[in-house]
């Protein structure tokens, strides 16, 4: 399920950002990525994303990240460490997997992430988990 098709798109204010490689939804407490089919997410793509949100990052913006894997794409595993070393704006991450293969990939990514990374079976589970983190708890109501 895409974020825009979820109940949360009607409950939580967000900013939609379109890139050639996918769509991002930025809320007060988390961002959701929905990469296009067949994309290889590497440091160049990560740099484009970070550059786009550089003003928020400079202001000490702390967010959760949700990878909503509605499409099949590849991800450079080393990115988890490189982004974490270069920037400190992610509180935690969730990966929504709709297939067993994507769930296995998320399990591998979990070993490379220095921050908490939860593997989820639905967008609903991922959003609830992010909003239940101590950094965001009681700051955003979704029901």
* Least confident window among 34-38, 53-57, 81-85: 81-85
Find the helix packing angle between 100-112 and 79-86, rounded to 10°.
40
pLDDT at 50: 87
Q: Please give the pLDDT value at position 138.
A: 58
Task: With cut-offs at 50, 70 and 90, classify the pLDDT of residue 36.
Answer: very high
Q: What pLDDT, on a 0 to 100 scale, did the predictor assign at position 75?
A: 86
pLDDT in tens, 70-119: 999 988 878 867 777 777 788 899 999 998 887 787 777 767 777 888 99
pTM of the model: 0.87
Q: What is the mean pLDDT of the chain?
A: 87
Strand partners, 41: 75
The pLDDT confidence band at residue 127, using thresholds 50, 70 and 90, is very high
Q: pLDDT band at 139, cuts 50/70/90?
A: low
Beta carbons of 114 and 81 less than 8 angstroms apart: yes
Distance of alpha carbon 9 from alpha carbon 81, whole angstroms: 30
Q: Which domains does the chain have, with CATH numbers?
A: 3-131 (3.30.750)
**130 pLDDT more than 90:** yes
């Amino acid at each position: 399920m895409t974020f825009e098709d979820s109940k949360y798109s009607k409950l939580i204010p967000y900013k939609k950002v379109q890139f050639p490689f996918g769509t991002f939804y930025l809320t007060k407490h988390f961002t959701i990525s929905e990469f296009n089919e067949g994309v290889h997410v590497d440091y160049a793509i990560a740099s484009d994303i970070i550059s786009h949100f550089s003003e928020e990052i400079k202001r000490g913006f702390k967010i959760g990240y949700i990878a909503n894997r509605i499409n099949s794409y590849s991800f450079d595993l080393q990115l988890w460490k490189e982004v974490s070393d270069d920037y400190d704006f992610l509180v935690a991450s969730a990966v929504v997997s709709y297939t067993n293969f994507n769930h296995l990939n998320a399990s591998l990514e979990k070993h490379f992430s220095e921050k908490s990374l939860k593997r989820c079976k639905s967008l609903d589970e991922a959003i609830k988990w992010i909003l239940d983190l101590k950094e965001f708890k009681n700051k955003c109501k979704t029901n």
